[in-house]
Structure 1
Amino acid sequence: MTVPVRLADVARVDHETDVLVVGLGCAGGAAALEARRTGAEVVVLERASGAGGSSAQSGGELYLGGGTRVQKALGYDDDPENMFAYLLAALGPHADEEKLRLYCAGSLEHFDWFCSLGIDFEESLYDAPSWMPPTRDGLMWLGENAWPFDQIARPVPRGHRPSTEGFGGWLLMDRLTAACTEAGVETHTDTRATALVVDDAGRVVGVTARRFGEDVTYLARRGVVLTTGGFVDNERMLRNHAPDLLGHDKVSDGLDDGSGIEMAAALGAATRRMAAVEVAYTALPAMAVRGMLVNGLGRRFVNEDVYPGVYSHAALHQPGPCWVILDEEGLESIPAQDLWGVRPTHAAETLEELEEELAMPPGSLRDTVAAYNEHAARGEDPYFHKNARWLRPLTGPFAAVDPRLGFGTTAGQENTGFRGFTLGGLHTDVDGQVLSVAGAPVPGLYAAGRATSGIHGHGYVSGTSLGDGTFFGRRAGRTAAAG
């Protein structure tokens, strides 16, 4: 049930606090911690049996820059304007410029905030395209050094990674929830919010919830902060708003059902960019960059050294299936730790044989490779501008990799090859205040993280969900605490 409940109709109040946060992922943890540090009493509701949500299952990258300690230690000169120029292009079109400028200007302080939680970042760089470095390197490239972005802003790596190998979201949430507990934040798990509670003046003053089969009511004296995640797990909402993700796997903890968005929308809250999505194609960057990514017609359609999310979006709208094509030399040059269990599905001595195996038009792949090789021999890629570092003529024998077979723990499990999540959500101001369809603040209601549209337009870069969620979660928590 999402229809708001009138305070006058509430028969019993079970809990009361200053600030009530709904959802304990990265945005909820940041909001709760900052609200508590201002002196407010804080209760967090989490529908699962423990904290973390999709944030804990994420890679853990944090998109930070402007001249962090890690960047400086590795000799990279960065500043907020340079960071803004890249993100405006990478997260666009239609990124939220006001929020984005604030995020870039506050990035150094935000980096220090993470360090204060006990999160460490190694002063080393993983210097190759990857979905997730298998190392403890504290910095990685996220497309800043690929065309056209290297023409828009000075290339500087900004993917900051907590000091752990592979996926690091668990470490981020471990430190954040520990800080919340130490600060005195009260957490109620196994508690699912069902509706907002509104007083006669239209102010949000709490929520109703379900806990172990019983109805419970929470009131908030100063404000309610929604940090309930996106809506990729809600098929109805996907059909209505983001059909690009229908039929594909999801990047979530299984609980991103849009409940917070719908609770607020039922009160007249505005939503923004609900069709915007992020997709990840299980085409291994270490392979694609050493060869090429082609569509079902045997044609290239993107420079393969871009942030993998860029070629994923491009592949989503290509005539499929798409394939990673590389030669024996390229395959053998990939470090074992970067192979993620992926092996070629097809191999042939000639491109004509490979075309036939892949059901491509005769001569299509042959012509694509011939043009690529001609230019690569001169260190050029006039069609798509792949960096010269990765350009080399491809010679037989040749191999093809089918991204539909996954990688890592999903290697060999055929699906569409795409996994995604939603980027759109509630419309908020820079302080986390939820705005109505008329553009006015909804009194007492705040939001952050994937429940909002955040800084994103129709583009995405790894680390901007955790970065955006925590940065604006902190602001929402402070604003709600001020009442």
Structure 2
Amino acid sequence: MTETPAPTIVVAGAGLTGLSAAISAREAGARVVLLEKGSREDVGGNAAFSGGLFLFCYDGPDDLTSITEDFEPGMKADRIEAPPYTRQAYAAELSAMSGGQAEPRLVDRLAERSLDTVRWLAAKGVRFTFNRTVGAAVRDGVLHIPPGQILTCTGEGMSRGFEVIRPLLAHAERIGVEIRWSAPLVEVVRSDGRVTGAVVGDGGETVPAAAVVVATGGFQASRELRRECLGPQWETVRLRGTRLATGDGIQAALRAGAEKAGTWASCHSAAVDPTMPSPQRSEASPPFPLHGFWLGVLINRDGERFVDEGPGPWVKNYSKMGKAIMRQPGCEAFEIFDQRTAARVADEFAGAAEPIVAHNVPELAERIGVPADRLAHTLEAFNNACPSGDGAAEGRGTAGITPPKSGWASPLDQPPFVAYHAVAGLTFTFGGIRIDPDGRALSADGTPVPGLYAAGEAVGGLFYGDYPGGAALMRAAVFGRVAGATAAQETKRLPTPAAG
């Protein structure tokens, strides 16, 4: 008896989303061709340059230790206290940070599949660790974990995401995923209303396929689309992520009948060290994210504050600091600290960025190139607005100044002062393809485009003005996995083509 050949599924993009989709589809029995626009050195997409943080639901310590028993230095304790981070809390937080615009069905699916997907990643060889920079602390022999972000992949510093990609790539190759390097998706081919293949590369080769999963990322690396969608000031912005996400896959899906979703005028953009170049390969370090802003103040070149540095934990706010900086003169700013927090910032949040040190405010103003009188006035007004007492905490906000600092407000009056030059680093864009919770690409009337699927940063509808840290990698893995499985299941039901 002749065995019926497995349907071919093309997955475009070998980042976290694409690898998750390819592995999921292959494990469901499909033949999978994984296309990567870049070379093998470019594998991983934006995830390779991330901090490796995953936001997922859990019921308590047992769920966390079922994933890992590795701890960063200083976090090992006799006992763990971790209140549940429920699906309802996850959905409420993501919805609130999107201003109520996030698609509820996508939010629910992300929360519902998050824990299981982290366990799935761990089973594929991704190693996780309890991370000390996201709010957990050891007190009296107990590790106290606030609900939410706690596990990152293992690795060094704030940019450890390649340690997620490395084991997934090895697993994909081990189970027989066919990977084609330097093979960009150019067009999605359709016949009689459904997908029949993918056009690849400059030569226009067509790969026959029963389904295509678009996992090519956003459009942040396209100067033209940045100018058109984000505004002219974004045309020359520094990239924090992959240089290959130019929106090609999104545009191919739209031409194949998919509808746009989400906000195309917003993005993830953090404050970064301007001395570091944009990455050129997956294992290179991207411009380091300067996430210490919440422990000090942000000053523009006019010597004035311009944003609330402490509206909540930094991990829930860092992704909008770059956008705030882009609205300032010269699209630049300075993070300023005193000796209360300078050592912690240097240890946890500055990487290899070179600090600017000054023994008084006039010297600081001269060294960073801002008007001394304005800087002195700004810092004096800020210090006077801080609550009495020493120390910074989430509930300690300023009073009587605009913009406020809603939390962690502590006077800057213990020199030497330390400053870091910061510019915006664009990580990814928020607009993309419209999908349903199972990863099917949807047309303008809300019906699926037969054979077309999408996931990760190529889709819209989840993130708008901001999102909680760790939700982006979680979205990539959850919806990549879901889209791959859906594609494999639905192509199994297709009639077998007649022999030629």
Query: TM-score if structure 1 supplies the norm length?
Result: 0.79
Structure 1 residues 80 and 397: alpha-carbon distance in aligned structure 2, compared to 1, 3 A threshold: same
Aligned to 2:102: 95
| 2: CA distance, partners of 1:173 / 1:341 | 24
Aligned to 1:113: 120
The C-alpha deviation readout for 1:109-137, integer Å capped at 9, x for no partner, is 112111211222224533559xxxxxxxx
Matched, 1:206 2:216: no
Please tell me the residue identity of whatever aligns with 1:392: S
Matched, 1:314 2:319: no
Q: 1:362 Cα deviation (Å)?
A: 3.4
Aligned to 1:216: 205
Q: 1:101 Cα deviation (Å)?
A: 1.4
Per mean C-alpha deviation after superposition, the further-off stretch among 331-340 and 28-37 is 331-340
Counterpart secondary structure, 2:186: strand
Structure 1 residues 171 and 327: alpha-carbon distance in aligned structure 2, compared to 1, 3 A threshold: closer
Q: 1:225 Cα deviation (Å)?
A: 0.8
Counterpart secondary structure, 1:29: helix
Aligned to 2:293: 288
Structure 1 residues 81 and 183: alpha-carbon distance in aligned structure 2, compared to 1, 3 A threshold: same
Aligned to 1:435: 442
Per mean C-alpha deviation after superposition, the further-off stretch among 280-289 and 102-111 is 280-289
Per mean C-alpha deviation after superposition, the further-off stretch among 165-174 and 358-367 is 358-367
Q: 1:52 Cα deviation (Å)?
A: 2.1
Counterpart secondary structure, 2:20: helix
Q: 1:196 Cα deviation (Å)?
A: 1.5
Q: Contact (CA 8 Å) 1:280, 1:308: kept in 2 or not?
A: yes
Structure 1 residues 39 and 140: alpha-carbon distance in aligned structure 2, compared to 1, 3 A threshold: farther
| 2: CA distance, partners of 1:119 / 1:311 | 30
Per mean C-alpha deviation after superposition, the further-off stretch among 449-458 and 391-400 is 391-400
The C-alpha deviation readout for 1:162-197, integer Å capped at 9, x for no partner, is 122223221211121222223222222222222121
2:249 aligned to which of 236, 260, 263: 260
Instruction: Please list every run of 5 or more consecutive structure 1 residues that lacks an aligned counterpart in the other structure.
Output: 1-14, 130-138, 142-154, 405-415
Q: Contact (CA 8 Å) 2:189, 2:256: kept in 1 or not?
A: no
Counterpart secondary structure, 1:106: helix
Output aligned runs, 1:325-336, within 5 Å: 325-332=336-343, 334=345, 336=347
2:10 aligned to which of 8, 20, 25: 20
Aligned to 2:433: 426
The C-alpha deviation readout for 1:325-362, integer Å capped at 9, x for no partner, is 22245435655465423344362524697389743483
Q: Contact (CA 8 Å) 1:66, 1:105: kept in 2 or not?
A: no
Aligned to 1:188: 180
1:381 aligned to which of 397, 400, 423: 397
Please tell me the residue identity of whatever aligns with 2:432: G
Counterpart secondary structure, 2:128: coil
| 2: CA distance, partners of 1:21 / 1:362 | 57
Q: 1:386 Cα deviation (Å)?
A: 4.2
Instruction: Please list every run of 5 or more consecutive structure 2 residues that lacks an aligned counterpart in the other structure.
Output: 67-78, 137-142, 274-288, 391-395, 492-500
Q: 1:215 Cα deviation (Å)?
A: 3.5
Aligned to 1:77: 83
Aligned to 2:222: 234
Aligned to 1:302: 308
Structure 1 residues 343 and 123: alpha-carbon distance in aligned structure 2, compared to 1, 3 A threshold: closer
| 2: CA distance, partners of 1:478 / 1:438 | 24
Aligned to 2:23: 33
- Tell me how many residue pairs correspond in the alignment: 430
Q: Contact (CA 8 Å) 1:191, 1:209: kept in 2 or not?
A: yes
| 2: CA distance, partners of 1:34 / 1:362 | 60
Please tell me the residue identity of whatever aligns with 2:245: D
| 2: CA distance, partners of 1:363 / 1:58 | 36
Structure 1 residues 232 and 16: alpha-carbon distance in aligned structure 2, compared to 1, 3 A threshold: farther
| 1: CA distance, partners of 2:180 / 2:116 | 30
Q: Contact (CA 8 Å) 1:71, 1:77: kept in 2 or not?
A: no
2:39 aligned to which of 38, 45, 49: 49
Counterpart secondary structure, 1:434: strand
Counterpart secondary structure, 2:196: strand
The C-alpha deviation readout for 1:356-380, integer Å capped at 9, x for no partner, is 9743483564254344345332464
Q: Contact (CA 8 Å) 2:338, 2:415: kept in 1 or not?
A: yes
Counterpart secondary structure, 2:264: coil
Q: Contact (CA 8 Å) 2:325, 2:424: kept in 1 or not?
A: no
Matched, 1:172 2:172: no
Q: Contact (CA 8 Å) 2:271, 2:322: kept in 1 or not?
A: yes
Aligned to 1:86: 93
Q: Contact (CA 8 Å) 1:44, 1:188: kept in 2 or not?
A: yes
| 2: CA distance, partners of 1:473 / 1:294 | 40
| 2: CA distance, partners of 1:393 / 1:71 | 39
Structure 1 residues 298 and 290: alpha-carbon distance in aligned structure 2, compared to 1, 3 A threshold: same
Identity of aligned residues (%): 27
| 2: CA distance, partners of 1:357 / 1:107 | 44
2:474 aligned to which of 455, 467, 475: 467
| 2: CA distance, partners of 1:286 / 1:433 | 36
| 1: CA distance, partners of 2:205 / 2:378 | 66
Q: 1:397 Cα deviation (Å)?
A: 3.5
Q: 1:452 Cα deviation (Å)?
A: 1.0
| 2: CA distance, partners of 1:49 / 1:438 | 38
Structure 1 residues 367 and 332: alpha-carbon distance in aligned structure 2, compared to 1, 3 A threshold: same
Aligned to 1:11: none
Structure 1 residues 230 and 105: alpha-carbon distance in aligned structure 2, compared to 1, 3 A threshold: same
CA RMSD of aligned residues (A): 3.1
Q: Contact (CA 8 Å) 1:140, 1:158: kept in 2 or not?
A: no
